[in-house]
Each structure stands twice: as C-alpha cells, then as structure tokens.
Structure 1
Amino acid sequence: MLSMLQTTSFLFIFMFLMGISKFMSNWNHILSTLISLEFMALSLFFMFAMGGTYNELYISLFYLAIAVCEGALGLSMLVLFTRDKGDDMLSTKNLPVW
C-alpha cells in the first residue's frame, strides 16, 4: 500500500515526464512548446511545495518567481517571432543563426 506522500510524488513525477514527452514530440508550434515547459515548471513547483518545511517553501516561492519570469520571456519571444514571421510554425520557417 502506497502512502499519500508516495502517491502524490508519483503523480508529480508522472506530470513532469508527460511534460517532457510533449515538449520533445511537438516542435511545430512555439506556443505548444511554451505550454509544455510551463507544465513542467508547475509540476516541479508542486513537488517543492509538498516538502512542507519552511526552507523548502521559501525555495518553492523563489522557483515560482523564476518560472513566471521565464514564461513572460517566452511569451515575449513568441510575440516578436509572430510579428516578424507571421505565424508561430517552426517547421515551415528557416531560422536564422545569430
């Protein structure tokens, strides 16, 4: 019989692995890759928040702030790419090497 902590840990690890599999299997749209990255960040936040001690909660809030900044940066890159190329399809565009 699994305890409640083991069950929730398994759930969050499963969520993270599903996010990785979606990220690696779908490279057509920038938006879908950003959503899968945010899903992985959310599952890691839930894992940190399940720790329960004060230090781990502090680290989880710091991690959440970094994840929000990463999401805002990704969305701004999506807007810039869409304005420049016309859509967010990565498979049909030749990306320049900077």
Structure 2
Amino acid sequence: MGDAGVGSMLLADTATSVQRFVSVFVGVYVLLIFAYIIASWVPAGSSPTLERVRQFLYDVCEPYLRIFRRVIPPLGPLDLSPIIGVIALYVLERLVNTLIGRIL
C-alpha cells in the first residue's frame, strides 16, 4: 500500500501542477490580449519602444484572434473577436482542468 499511496500522491501533485500551469498560461494570455487591445488605441508612430511592444503583442495575439475573425465579422468599427477569444480561453481552461482532475 505504501508504494501505491506514493504513486497516487505523485499523480495528484502532478495533476495539480498541470492545472495551475494551464490556469496561469490562460491568465497571462488574456492579459496579453487586453494589452493588445489597449495598444491598438494608441496612435501609431508615437514611440519606437511602443512600436516594438505593439509588434510583439501583434505577433503573439493576432494568430489566435484571426481564428475568430474568420467566423465572426466585425460589426462596423467594433471587433468582437477578442471578447469571443477570451471567453473561448476560459471555457477551454475549465475543460482541460476538469479533464485533468478526472485523471485522479
């Protein structure tokens, strides 16, 4: 029973660590999406540093948001893809964490 208990504890600890990683990853990516949105409101060319940050955020966020832009057309000047993208991330996080929790 001792070896089985240690194995079970190790599996539970690993599952918890993976769940935390997924949660932190989603949280950081959502913050990057929000920063991308805010950076898009600042006029281009205002600062070379801001342009580097804006390019980084574009490179990180745009491929993911493009998936939703293909499905959901913009409503005039309003782009709903970041909202749908954030909701999808949270739903995916819950799904992955639930599946990992069921491993136990």
TM-score of the superposed pair, with normalisation by structure 2: 0.35
> Higher helix share goes to which structure?
2
Higher relative contact order (CA 8 A, sep 6+): 2
Between structure 1 and structure 2, the one with the greater Rg is 2
TM-score of the superposed pair, with normalisation by structure 1: 0.37
